[in-house]
Chain A
Amino acid sequence: MRVALFITCVNDTLFPGTGRAVVTLLRRLGCDVDFPRAQTCCGQMHVNTGYPEEGRRLARHFVDVFAEYDAVVAPSGSCAAMVREQYPRLARTPAVPASITAGAPADLITGTLPPSAEETAAPGARERPRPGSFAEEVAATVPKVHELSEFLVDVLGVTDVGAYFPHRVTYHPTCHSLRALRLGDRPTRLLEQVRGLELVPLPGADECCGFGGTFAVKNPAISAAMCADKVHNVATTGAEVLCAADNSCLMHIGGTLSRQRTGVRIMHLAEILAATETGDHGVVRG
């Protein structure tokens, strides 16, 4: 199967080892992988910080780069969720109602809206964008984009990827993997099949680590408090390695784990799944 890798800008720049692990892993499973060099960023940082126009431009670019492929695999739940959830919204014409700052005159009677297009149109009409429109291109591209564990379990149909990793590991599900993508137990089913690996549950696993992209900078005190609690929970597991399907969350938690000298390492799911007894997996951080 010919697969396009969407490595994501954070992995490309800061965690290239994760990208190399994805290449190793997918090749071992018989995929023919390609890295479209024109890719840059999904635009999540811009959209989530309140710059939808920049985000729309990057979404446009993403669709241009990946439209021709049958399958796109991303080692990031957050970026995959961005594409799947936000792109269709970005592609719709932005609503231009009364501005929240302008404060349109309040009038009880004129406040009633005519039925929206959604209400009057036939069921499903909203899902059928105009032919040739950006919305249509997005609708065609989005279903081909898979987060790594989704691709392995749902598309390739494997949970045993032939990995060997003799360490005590705890798994943090990350919010976007958990609630936006609904990855469920796919990542842990994959980890459970790794030989030598002891998977220990993480208390409060479904609670956010406090990263939230620019949230960590805009609300530093709360972000740090959330991360401190997460790190405390990680420490109680006695795990050597904290694993997740998102390097941005791992970077955030890992930064605190390192500052507190806990000795717990962070590793992306792909790196553990790529590891084998012979060690020819390219899993070298940095």
Chain B
Amino acid sequence: MSGGATFLGMPAFPVNAAAAVQDSQLRYNLRKATHTIRGKRALAVGELPDWTELRRAAKEIKDHTLRNLERYLVRMEEAVTAAGGHVHWAADAEEANRIVADLVKATGETSVVKVKSMATQEIGLNEALELEGITAYETDLAELIVQLGDDWPSHILVPAIHRNRSEIREIFREKMADWGRAAPEDLTDEPRALAEAARLHLRERFLSTRVAISGANFMIAETGTLVVLESEGNGRMCLTLPETLISVVGIEKLLPSWQDLEVFLQLLPRSSTGERMNPYTSTWTGAAEGQEFHLVLLDNGRTDVLADEIGRQALRCIRCSACLNVCPVYERAGGHAYGSVYPGPIGAILTPQLRGTASELDASLPYASTLCGACFDACPVAIDIPEVLVHLRGRVRHPRVERLGMRAAGWVFNRPARLARTQRLGGRLRRFVPGRLPGPLSAWTDTRDIPDIPSESFRDWWDRTDGGVK
């Protein structure tokens, strides 16, 4: 996974997170937003008596599709082509960006409207287009806020979750004019006023732009259909108004048939926004009348992930973000700390798999979790995120001090007699244990008191008293 230039070269997660957790406004915004969605989701999920079965079905459909991906991808290509669309294959971000840029240039246009899409953010498409002299306008409300604010998304579903409405008002007033229609002079921070300002600003874009770029939530192989779920209707404007539509979609988004879609249309809105159904579901097959359609099938590391027996379950992800909203680490660190368009628990397993773990940041991501398991419980496609985290931790390079410490602990634990001797030594030296521990352990004692070390271990008590009988 490449692209997202600003994210590259970021320090490791603990450093980013330590800075973020100091931002009380950010913490407040995140806590309020995640707890609200969390509560709504729990209610919406609780309404379905067959949630467990739906979840199992979704897992099995995804696993089956991934195991037979070659077959379904070829079927998808045939169906899209038969319906008058063009299919392009992109092995990595660079190739995908090149394909899209060439397609836009061929139309003679220098601007495009965009439907909110994680795949295009993953490959840094907007930045790549900018280098080619093409301006990409985001049309999703939250993405618009992020783009105007020259900011980075911090949540999969709610990219501007870290902003509150007064911050949004400031961004609109200061930046909207640079990108098109200006915000009204008397703009307040009332949600209705903010939405109206965005609506008028975006309406101009929809009506004046002839090329659109989208992603897709699902692709249905049997008919070559793409599916987008959204809340605002802005996506539908992009999908229908422009003359050329280019969709960049990760190869893992496939479903074999329309019948499979039924399962996911129940799971996704309830998991992501806590709604029974999302307001807009758009489907399109090949090229509509008077429109040219291109599908760019994106790999960008996905086949590598597929090759890993434990890690591949991350490809089941339908980007609902339920795991973010229940994660206590995400809630406090915020999305930017993960240094990727995929934050939170899913980002902690997906990003290091797509990007590798060569950088300090990517190597720190599998550790950005307490393994509390809330993400696994919330995941509608049953991705065992803690399992993958532990699996990835076994593969990253460990710091030397830690390796030595773990080897020493292993040496002690390998023989009960060694453990007993170490405990006795600890008991004897208990008075000399400082309140503040040295090295990396000082991080623990900075905010906590260490417990008193007992003079006698349980095993020594057992020996001395013959199991408490003496």
Contacts and interface: CB of A to CB of B under 8 A. Distances in A.
Interface of A: 7, 9, 11-17, 19-20, 23-24, 27, 33-35, 37-41, 43, 45-52, 54, 57-58, 61, 86, 89, 95, 97-101, 103-104, 106-113, 115-116, 119, 175-176, 178-180, 206-208, 210-228, 251-252, 254-256, 258-259, 282, 285-286
B307 A40 contact: no
A49 B458 contact: no
Given A41-B413, A49-B402, A217-B440, 14 more contacts: A13-B454, A23-B468, A48-B371, A61-B414, A97-B311, A98-B304, A100-B392, A108-B299, A112-B67, A112-B71, A216-B443, A218-B367, A219-B17, A254-B449
Given A40-B416, A111-B303, A212-B371, A100 B311 contact: yes
B300 A175 contact: no
B457 A57 contact: no
A100 B353 contact: yes
A37 B332 contact: no
Given A40-B413, A212-B371, A20 B73 contact: no
Interface residues on B, range: 35 or more
Contacts of B461: 16, 19-20
B310 interface: yes
22 contacts: A16-B456, A40-B412, A40-B416, A46-B410, A49-B402, A54-B410, A57-B414, A58-B410, A99-B395, A106-B299, A106-B300, A106-B304, A111-B299, A111-B302, A179-B372, A206-B374, A210-B328, A220-B443, A226-B332, A226-B370, A252-B448, A254-B451
A48 B307 contact: no
B323 to A, nearest CB: 13
Interface in B435-470: 440-441, 443-444, 446-459, 461-463, 467-468
Contacts, number: 276
A226 B299 contact: no
Secondary structure of the B side of the interface? helix
Contacts of A100: 304, 308, 311, 352-353, 356-357, 392, 395
Given A101-B357, A221-B17, A222-B21, A35 B395 contact: no
Nearest to B416: A38
B458 A217 contact: no
A52 B2 CA distance: 30
A208 B14 contact: no
Nearest to A259: B449
Nearest to A180: B373
B410 A108 contact: no
A109 B72 CA distance: 11
Contact of A51 (B309, B394, B463): B394
A220 B413 CA distance: 26
A69 to B, nearest CB: 15
Interface of B: 13-14, 17-18, 21-22, 27, 66-71, 73, 89, 91-92, 251, 297, 299-304, 306-311, 328-329, 332-333, 352-353, 356-358, 364, 366-374, 376-377, 387, 390, 392-396, 398, 402, 406-407, 409-410, 412-416, 419, 423, 426, 440-441, 443-444, 446-459, 461-463, 467-468
Given A12-B459, A217-B443, A220-B444, A112 B70 contact: yes
Nearest to B364: A218
B451 A219 contact: no
Contact of B372 (A19, A35, A208, A217): A208
B109 to A, nearest CB: 29
B466 to A, nearest CB: 11
B301 A108 contact: no
A99 B455 CA distance: 47
A89 B396 CA distance: 19
